[in-house]
Amino acid sequence: MKHILIGLLICVNYSQILAQSNKRPNIIFIMSDDHAYQAISAYDQRLISTPNIDRIAKKGILFTNASVTNSICAPSRATILTGKHSHLNGKVDNHFKFDTTNITFPQILQANGYQTAMFGKLHFGNSPKGFDQFKILPDQGNYYNPDFITKNEGNIKVNGYVTDIITDMTLDWLKQERTPEKPFLLMYLHKAPHRSWLMAERHLDEMTQKTYPEPKTLFDDYSGRTSPAKEAEMNILTSMSWAGDNKIYPATMDSLKIPEIGFDKRRFAAEMGRLNPSQKANFDRVYDRINAEFIKAYPSMTEQDKMRWKFQRYMQDYLGTLRSVDENVGRLLDYLEANNLMENTIIVYTSDQGFYLGEHGWFDKRFIYDESFKTPLMVSWPSQIKAGQKSDALVQNLDFAQTFLDAADIPAPKDMQGQSLIPLMTGKSWKRDAVYYHYYEYPAEHMVNRHYAIVTKKYKLIHYYFSTDAWELIDREKDPLELKNVYNYPVYASIRKTLHKQLDALRLKYKDNSTISNGYIDRFLNDAVEGKV
């Protein structure tokens, strides 16, 4: 009798466990805006410690070769949601609205019984489809006292700091709106650390007094590559603005006769104009000190000193915004842990692309050189993915849609172009030899020429077109800093030939037959001329 009872108990427990493990997982997609992997301690400890973000990697898998298909905000988000390259989903650049006739994975999850919510930055120019709840920033959004477009409350303004607010909204939804019987998809999307890098008041004193190591290529002169690297307008010395970015007062600029870079003074005034009196007093206190020190130092500064000074101010502010991202990710993880929501939840931490933190003398992104082409990616799912893994597989933001549908056991539409990462993360076979990249936003801010490329673990073959017609071949193993174009070196002749063939095949596979100009861009430009957009 006793044995039968124990047997029954085991059976009940076993079937409960089975039911639990067969339950479709929750999905929490955490994405920051412009978060460089160099600024996550799970990847690199030189700049900042991010203990909370690192918790996700420790519990799951850290990808060291994750990349985007087009290194810019809205196109990356469109690729994530549609599982398609930019030329097929139509969101080739930041300028035009997302085409909402695209089918996105949240729509599919919602139609299959998932509860769905999105909080933070989307940057599509329209509201997302497929969400039971959303509160999104209009366009780029603001760091202080931001406005939100909401699904149920119209447009609202919330006092406080954007990273804290987006997290409050996310936690409130989990606590008050979640239906426990349903699996959920939660997209938790930070504005930070996007330009113009305003940190939370609580980090100002500490973060504006630190000094950071310079990257090896801070003084890159762009020789050794074709013309686009030199022509881009994202050099810290020549394109980062004194007031708008480095928070030198317009009056200080006037007194030192420093010319404006871009809409320097106007951008500074717009940011400061959003602060309430107590926020402003905190910023003034810190900026007064920075300006007083700068006024003393500036007259004897060489051009190199100016570059160094700007780099330090850039790092202080950029990394300052990440302190609160890390704290707030910690708040979310603490809540999930305390409420037994970790085991069967897929948690992703990523960015819409990487970012240059002084490498090649740059800030911003767009180029295919590693720091902006690659993006941070870590995934935990304790019930299915072994903890503490590292993978150098060539995964992309293109893969998320199919990964999430696969995890929920829903067949993906045939025209999605990625590959589920579930087999890879659970130790089964997974293969990809090369990825495809295509950047379009030119002519535009930062002036990064259009280019497409094939990237393997060993090489990058890049075609810059539109304002120039130039090929680059980068040997990733021999030249990790990506300073030398070896396209015309005779020893690379056969590698070049093979890569050309592979690139042609990839363009065919992904159906990208745009050559000199892009069909979608031209269509949109024509529409714009005719007043249709």
Q: Which residues bind Ca ion (CB under 5 A)?
A: 33-34, 73, 352
Q: Which stretch binds ligand SGN (CB under 6 A): 84-92, 193-201, 221-229, 272-280?
A: 193-201
- Cβ neighbours of residue 67 closer than 8 Å, sequence gap 6 or more: 373, 374, 375, 394, 395, 396, 397, 435, 437, 455
Q: Which residue's Cβ lies closest to Ca ion?
A: 73
Structure tokens at 472: 């680059």
Q: How far is the CB of 309 from Ca ion (least distance, A)?
A: 25
Q: Pick what 372 binds: ligand SGN, Ca ion, none; C-beta below 5 to 8 Å, kind-dependent.
A: none
Q: Which of 194, 225, 265, 310 binds ligand SGN (CB under 6 A)?
A: 194
Query: What is the distance between the alpha carbons of residues 171 and 120, in angstroms, rounded to a whole number?
Result: 13
Q: Is 196 in the site for ligand SGN (CB under 6 A)?
A: yes
Angle of CA points 421, 61, 376, to nearest 5°:
85
SS3 377: strand
State which residue, 352 or 359, has the beta carbon closest to Ca ion: 352
Q: How far is the CB of 482 from Ca ion (least distance, A)?
A: 21
170, 182 contact by CB (below 8 A): no
* Residue 414: other Cβ atoms inside 10 A: 5
Query: What is the distance between the alpha carbons of residues 472 and 496, in angstroms, rounded to a whole number?
Result: 10
Element containing residue 345 per DSSP (H, E)? strand 345-351
State which residue, 267 or 500, has the beta carbon closest to ligand SGN: 267
Handedness of CA 445, 447, 453, 456 (dihedral sign): negative
Q: Does the N-terminal peptide bond of residue 193 adopt cis geometry, omega within 30 degrees of 0? A: yes
Structure tokens at 152: 């149920």
State which residue, 14 or 263, has the beta carbon closest to ligand SGN: 263
Element containing residue 14 per DSSP (H, E)? helix 2-22
Q: How far is the CB of 76 from ligand SGN (least distance, A)?
A: 8
Identity (one letter) of the amino acid at 394?
Answer: L
* Residue 385: other Cβ atoms inside 10 A: 19
Element containing residue 292 per DSSP (H, E)? helix 277-297
Q: Pick what 123 binds: ligand SGN, Ca ion, none; C-beta below 5 to 8 Å, kind-dependent.
A: ligand SGN
State which residue, 364 or 512, has the beta carbon closest to ligand SGN: 364
SS3 298: helix
Q: Pick what 484 binds: Ca ion, ligand SGN, none; C-beta below 5 to 8 Å, kind-dependent.
A: none
The site map against ligand SGN for 140-159 (x = CB under 6 A) is x-------------------
Q: Is 260 in the site for ligand SGN (CB under 6 A)?
A: no
Angle of CA points 465, 227, 440, to nearest 5°:
35
According to CB under 6 A, which residues from 170 to 189 bind ligand SGN? none
Phi-psi region of 447 (alpha: psi -120 to 50; beta: other; left: phi over 0): left
Q: How far is the CB of 372 from ligand SGN (least distance, A)?
A: 10
Q: Pick what 446 binds: Ca ion, ligand SGN, none; C-beta below 5 to 8 Å, kind-dependent.
A: ligand SGN
Q: Pick what 271 binds: ligand SGN, Ca ion, none; C-beta below 5 to 8 Å, kind-dependent.
A: none
Q: How far is the CB of 263 from ligand SGN (least distance, A)?
A: 7
Q: Which stretch binds ligand SGN (CB under 6 A): 130-138, 192-200, 409-417, 471-479?
A: 192-200
The site map against ligand SGN for 345-374 (x = CB under 6 A) is -------------------x----------
Q: Is 36 in the site for ligand SGN (CB under 6 A)?
A: no
Q: Is 139 in the site for ligand SGN (CB under 6 A)?
A: no
Q: Is 195 in the site for ligand SGN (CB under 6 A)?
A: yes
Query: What is the distance between the alpha carbons of residues 257 and 210, in angstroms, rounded to a whole number?
Result: 27
Q: How far is the CB of 377 from ligand SGN (least distance, A)?
A: 17
According to CB under 6 A, which residues from 82 to 101 bind ligand SGN? 94
State which residue, 35 or 265, has the beta carbon closest to Ca ion: 35
State which residue, 73 or 379, has the beta carbon closest to Ca ion: 73
Structure tokens at 463: 């075609």
Handedness of CA 357, 363, 364, 369 (dihedral sign): negative
Binding site for ligand SGN (CB under 6 A): 33-34, 72-73, 94, 123, 140, 194-196, 267, 364, 445-446
